[in-house]
Amino acid sequence: MKLLASVVTAAAIAVTAAVPAQAQQGSGSPTVDAIRARGHVQCGANGQVAGFGMPNARGEWTGLDVDFCRALAAAVFGDATKVRFTTLTAQQRFTALQSGEVDVLARNTTWTLSRDTSLGLEFGAINFYDGQGFIVKRSANIKSAKELNGATICVQPGTTTELNLADYFRANRIRFTPVVIERLEENIAAYLAGRCDAYTTDVSGLASIRAANTPNPADHVILPEVISKEPLGPAVRHGDQRWADIVKWTHFAMLEAEELGVTSANVDTHANSTNPNIQRLLGTTGGLGAMMGIDNRWAYNIIKQVGNYGEIFEKNVTPLGIERGVNRLWTQGGLMYNPPIR
Partner 1 sequence: MRISLNDPVFRAIFWQVVVVGTIGFVVWYLIANTLHNLEVRKIATGWTFLDREAGFAIGESLIEYEPDHSYGRALWVGALNTLRVAAIGIVLATILGTFIGIGRLSKNWLISKVCSVYVEFMRNLPLLVQLFFWWAMFQDVFPGPRQALEPITGVFFSNRGIKIPVPAEHWVHAWMGLAFLAGIAASMVVGRWAAARQAATGEQFPVLYATLGLVLGLPFVVWLIGGAPVAMDWPVLRGFNFQGGLTMTPEFAALLVGLVTYTAGFIAEIVRAGILAVPHGQTEAASALGIRRGKMLQLVILPQALRVIVPPMTSQYLNLTKNSSLAVAIGYPDLVSIANTTINQTGQAIEGIAIIMAAYLTVSLSISLFMNWYNKRIAFKER
Which residues make up the interface to partner 1 (CB under 8 A)? 1-3, 6-7, 9-10, 13-19, 21, 90-91, 94-95, 98, 114-115, 118-120, 148-152, 154, 157-159, 162-163, 165-167, 169-170, 176-183, 186, 189-190, 193-195, 197, 237-239
d(CA 258, CA 178): 42
Q: Judged by CB, which is closer to partner 1: 223, or 294?
A: 223
Query: What single DSSP character describes residue 324?
Result: -
Q: Judged by CB, which is closer to partner 1: 90, or 303?
A: 90
N residues, the chain: 342
The 10 Å CB-count burial string (b at 16+, else e) for 146-185 is eebeebbbbbbeebbbbebbeebbeeeeeebebeebeebe
Q: Judged by CB, which is closer to partner 1: 119, or 341?
A: 119
Q: Contact, 97 vs 116, CB < 8 A?
A: no
Q: What is the largest CA-CA distance in the chain?
A: 64
Q: How far is the CB of 197 from partner 1 (least distance, A)?
A: 5
Q: How far is the CB of 161 from partner 1 (least distance, A)?
A: 10
Q: How far is the CB of 190 from partner 1 (least distance, A)?
A: 6
d(CA 38, CA 79): 14
Q: Contact, 150 vs 176, CB < 8 A?
A: yes
Q: Judged by CB, which is closer to partner 1: 57, or 193?
A: 193
Q: How far is the CB of 275 from partner 1 (least distance, A)?
A: 41
Q: How far is the CB of 288 from partner 1 (least distance, A)?
A: 29
Q: Judged by CB, which is closer to partner 1: 3, or 57?
A: 3
Q: For residue 65, what are the CA distances in angstroms to 43, 128, 246, 316?
A: 9, 9, 16, 9
d(CA 76, CA 85): 16
Q: How far is the CB of 145 from partner 1 (least distance, A)?
A: 13
Q: How far is the CB of 206 from partner 1 (least distance, A)?
A: 19
Torsions phi, psi of 226, nearest 5?
Answer: -110, 115
Pairing outcome for strands 41-45 and 151-155: unpaired
φ/ψ region of 253 (left if φ > 0, alpha if ψ in -120 to 50, else beta) reads alpha
d(CA 201, CA 160): 9
Q: How far is the CB of 137 from partner 1 (least distance, A)?
A: 10
Q: Judged by CB, which is closer to partner 1: 74, or 154?
A: 154
Q: Judged by CB, which is closer to partner 1: 79, or 186?
A: 186
Q: Judged by CB, which is closer to partner 1: 18, or 37?
A: 18
